[in-house]
Amino acid sequence: MNTDPKTSNEISFDDFKNQILSDYKVALISRECSLLGRREVLTGKAKFGIFGDGKELPQLAMARAFQNGDFRSGYYRDQTFMMALGHLNAKMFFHGLYATTDLEKEPMSAGRQMGGHFVTHSINEDGTWKNLTAQTNSSADISCTAGQMPRLVGLAQASKIYRNVAGIDQTNFSNNGNEVAWGTIGNASTSEGHFFEALNAAGVMQVPMIISVWDDAYGISVPAEYHTTKSDISEVLKGFQRDEDANGYEIIKVKGWDYTALIHAYENASDIAREEHVPVLIHVTELTQPQGHSTSGSHERYKSAERLEWEKENDCNKRFREWIIENNIADDAALKALEKQCKIDVRNAKKEAWAEFLAPIIQNKKELVAHLDQLANASANKVFINKIKNDLIAIDEPIKKDIASMARKALRYVIGENSTAKTNFNTWLDGFMLESQEKYSSDLHNSFVTNATTVTPIAPTYDENAEEVDGRVILRDNFDQLFSKYPNTMVFGEDAGKIGDVNQGLEGLQSKYGNLRISDTGIREATIVGQGIGLAMRGLRPIAEIQYLDYILYGLQTLSDDLATLSYRTVGKQIAPLIIRTRGHRLEGIWHSGSQMGGLIHLLRGMYILTPRNMTQAAGFYNTLLETNEPALVIESLNGYRLKEKKPNNLGKYKTPIGVVETIKEGKDITVVSYGSTLRIVEKVAKELVAVGIDVELIDAQSLLPFDINHDTIQSVKKTNRLLVIDEDVPGGCSAYLTQEIVEKQGAYQYLDSAPQTLTAKAHRPAYATDGDYFSKPNEEDIFEKIYSIMHEANPTNFPKLR
């Protein structure tokens, strides 16, 4: 372990002198923002604050070593780093606290995330990529502790791919893989599984990644002894230290108040990671947290008097100031003048930010007061409307909620009235609500013309005597076409490489395209997903394979909190077009049941969820997705790999539409909607029902998110007047979602002559073996009897009771 690092490019004293006062100024501004930020929360102007005070000095050192093209994957203490790179200033800081919805004023998330969550913009206004090599980059933060770690692995791996895989167009994305991915994490969060999983993965792959552990000896109120063995993460990780006989990490330990040692440590780490593609861990110790964890509590409640005094004396800004004076870089008077000016500047920035936050709302207030005045004068309920108007006038500093709430309540007093004032009022309110809602709800998906739902579908075509092959062959040969067509595409996962996945859908492709593009991974689903996110954020097109659908639960936090929210929380300014490939449906046994669809469709809003019924459809989805820039989960039917399908002659070219249902069988008596492997069972039963006089119209949902954007299902219900949704999920799961989409969103309720119904699996996990599947999930007889019972209720004469 390197505890006395020396940089390979020693910084001269003159260079130090030129940068020291600049660094001290940034540290002062950052600290004053933290102090005033806390006050803004306590006075009610901001809702919550979590700040980077006590961590200023190591972040300044990290910023010095950070280069264009590099990526940060950090957490909510890194404000000084962002200020040092010029991505954040004091006014932006306060706009973040106030949740200003103007992206120019609050470029981190336009008020969608709390302060302390940082991002740079990777996407231009037209949806094209910026030149990421010409700017310093920060991937969008999430609050979840250690949640930033999985993506860090992929951000670093991208450099390895760009350096070692020929044929990829690196324009805008890389300079021969010279970029470093920088992660930051608090000492307590290193106790999380995501940290250890990501740490191990990066060590195995040997990627250019630097992890900084900000160690202030606490995790909220809990001291390090409860978090970490030996209370020291670098001691725990000594076994990861590289040596002459084995690859591993370079581990550096440095005190967080020692400016020159920090500069040396970060320059040294940058050289090692950038040149050798070796991961580095920097354990920054003896840091403080002057205001405690957040505005939710005070650290005086849990720190001893001795610890509080130690923190006061060893505050990194205080120690930095002492060092500046001791080395005759500036005297006390000069530093006091600088400190005074920084306080003034931050206070002014705070005032300006608050005024800018209020300005458009004050204008909305003026407009609403005028409309309320006109509405009152034209209404029989003038006195009540005037009360709302006066209450609004009394609010000196309103928020949008005040405007919307009072305007909508006023409408209650003019129900049944007709006047020009009411018409004008409604027009104004509709416009206000539309504009406001857009600021909080846009960009869940790609909002550009390249949205995947706009891709023109191309049907598979067949030779006259098309060969019937196992479904896996269609997938394999289609992937072969895609990997040849798109050099920046790769696939990785457990068993995805050498054996070509557990079902041979990638058979032989590693030997053709190399083990960096078709690669095996360890058993670590969270970082398999994280690899994909980071790679996709850097312009590559990864397909991350999760061996079975059940195992996706290991990576669900990363999928839900990071990937699915990325476009939304950055207002479309960052994207990660990652494809998650997995397999499931109709499996046998509690742990391999493949029936988590209800959870997935709700937790993964912001992604596409696609459930092809066969491998031809699945291949078409991959073809469609690789023409667009959006994340998706593709769930192949596990029991379909060995089923025979006709082999298309336009592999790699045909495209399955996203968000479009397919009518498998036309009928007149009842509309049945299903998907995946269960649909094949329904298809068989539909043929059997013909014998008893029931003509089913069978629809394959095939795309769950989004579902049926053309509203084709309602056209079927208009014809049949009955609806049954069948799936293998638990009651109230995906079938309930689909029913709501059809009955409520598409308005099918008005055409139904029978109650809409669902047929699902039992509430428990499926029992093992064929009998377990039969008695746990909808079987042929269940489906037959359910459809028959609906027809019996509608026409008991023609369809007598079955049992």
| Catalytic positions, written as ranges | 592
User: Quick check: helix, strand or coil at residue 728?
Assistant: coil
What one-character-per-residue DSSP string does 26-94 give? HHHHHHHHHHHHHHHHHTTSSS-----TT-HHHHHHHHHH--TT-EEE--TT-HHHHHHTTS--HHHHH
d(CA 272, CA 2) in angstroms, rounded, equals 12
Provide the β-strand partners of residue 252. Answer: 2, 282
Helix, strand, coil share (%) of the chain residues, nearest 5:
50, 10, 40
The position carrying tokens 């204008």 is 363
Query: Bridge partners of 469?
Result: 645
Q: Is 590 helix (H, G, I), strand (E, B) or coil?
A: helix
- Which of 638, 657, 653 lies closest to 480, judged by CA? 653
How many angstroms separate the Cα of 186 from the Cα of each of 59, 141, 285, 477, 803? 13, 14, 11, 46, 64
Q: What strands, in cross-sheet order, belong to the sheet with 209-214?
A: 137-138, 71-73, 181-186, 209-214, 280-285, 250-255
Query: Which residues, other chains included, contact 140 with Cβ-Cβ below 8 Å and sequence gap of 6+?
Result: 109, 117, 118, 119, 566, 569, 570, 574
Angstrom distance (rounded) from CA 479 to CA 636: 14
Stated as kind and residue range, the H or E segment containing 479 is helix 471-485
Report the sign of the C-alpha dihedral through residues 227, 231, 236, 238, in that order: positive
Token couple for 682: 């329904």
Which phi and psi angles does 634 have, rounded to 5°? -110, 120
| Spatial contact of 170 and 129, defined as CB atoms under 8 Å apart | no
